[in-house]
Structure 1
Amino acid sequence: MLQKLLNHKVRIALSILLTIFLVLIRAYEDNLFYDPFLNYFKTDYYNLPLPEINNIQLFFGLLFRYFLNTSISLSIIYVLFKDVEAVKFASILYLIFFVILVTIFFFALFYVGETNKMALFYVRRFIIQPIFLLLFLPAFYYHKQKRLAVPD
């Protein structure tokens, strides 16, 4: 086990470094992105009206953050699995999920925002956090193990 870890020390170091980048995005989110919901959801938002927002700025702020998280997540997937096909597949999934989530987010914001703030909270959470990485890593690991177990 220890020998395996030593053999993969560069991959482990790169994975840790990329994970630190994800943490830094989270740590400096107030400075990097336009998102009036950052502070809003830290307060007693049930009793407050939705904050004033600039829709275009919010969209590009969410896009930029999603792009950064996705780029780092795809890099982690590549570093861990060295599988270009997995990265291509994950890229397509990330793109599809972004379109779906942003559509749902702005629909909820415009039509049910005041009455269903939790929908905004959770959909936005999927956009701004690298949650899909937590789903993709075990899936790609399982796929790789399954592929290695099947003889050609």
Structure 2
Amino acid sequence: MLKNLPQNKGKIVLGLLLVFLLVLIREFETQLFYDPFLPFFKSDYAGQPLPIYEPIPLFLGLLLRYGLNSLLSLALLYVIFEDKDMLQFSGVLFAVFFVVLLLTFFYILSFQNQNYLLLFYVRRFLIQPIFILLFIPGFYYQKHL
């Protein structure tokens, strides 16, 4: 692997840049996205009522954040594996996961007001690039079978 290091400097730099951009999204989340649940889940939320939220701006904020995280994650997958079929498959997975998670999120908000832990984890999958942590080792294993 170290023998290929000079040949892969560009890929390494681009990969690190993409990871840095993911970190920047997390760092500036309060300025970039409407999410009244950020301060709620950072506080001692047990026993507290859910914050008042506006559904349309919340949806748009989740869509924007998930979209940015997904695009950067897809770019990172392409830099690592350089496989367009894998990229298309990942894009479909990201889209399907978004729809399922978003529907689950708003269902929990509407009908399960006391289940904060489930709401917290579904929201976590929507706002954090967790799927990339699953896709990289999974696709690496798939490629090297």
> Which bin holds the TM-score, normalised by the shorter protein?
over 0.9
Deviations 1:77-135 (A, max 9, x none): 0001000001000000000000000000000000002x100111000000000000000
Residues 41-120 of structure 1: pairs in structure 2 closer than 5 A: 41-113=41-113, 115-120=114-119
Is 2:131 aligned against 1:142?
no
Structure 1: how far apart are the matches of 2:109 and 2:13?
40
Q: Gaps (5+ residues) in structure 2?
A: none
Aligned to 2:122: 123
User: Counterpart amino acid of 2:4?
Assistant: K
Give secondary structure in 1 for the equivalent of 2:5.
helix
Structure 1 position 29, deviation (Å): 0.1
User: Counterpart amino acid of 1:126?
Assistant: F
User: Counterpart amino acid of 1:123?
Assistant: V
Q: Which runs of 4+ in 1 moved over 6 A?
A: none
Aligned to 1:38: 38
Structure 1 position 7, deviation (Å): 1.7
CA-atom RMSD, angstroms?
A: 0.7
TM normalised by structure 2 equals 0.98
Structure 2: how far apart are the matches of 1:14 and 1:7?
13
Q: Gaps (5+ residues) in structure 1?
A: 147-152
Aligned to 1:150: none
User: Counterpart amino acid of 1:73?
Assistant: S
Structure 1 position 5, deviation (Å): 1.9
User: Counterpart amino acid of 1:128?
Assistant: I
Structure 2: how far apart are the matches of 1:30 and 1:5?
38
Structure 1: how far apart are the matches of 2:18 and 2:3?
23
Structure 2: how far apart are the matches of 1:5 and 1:49?
53
User: Counterpart amino acid of 2:79?
Assistant: V
Structure 2: how far apart are the matches of 1:101 and 1:80?
26
Structure 1 position 47, deviation (Å): 2.4
Deviations 1:45-86 (A, max 9, x none): 012110000001101100000000000000000001000001
Count, aligned residues: 145
Structure 2: how far apart are the matches of 1:142 and 1:42?
36
Structure 2: how far apart are the matches of 1:12 and 1:145?
20
Give secondary structure in 2 for the equivalent of 1:6.
coil
Structure 2: how far apart are the matches of 1:11 and 1:140?
17
Q: Percent identity?
A: 51
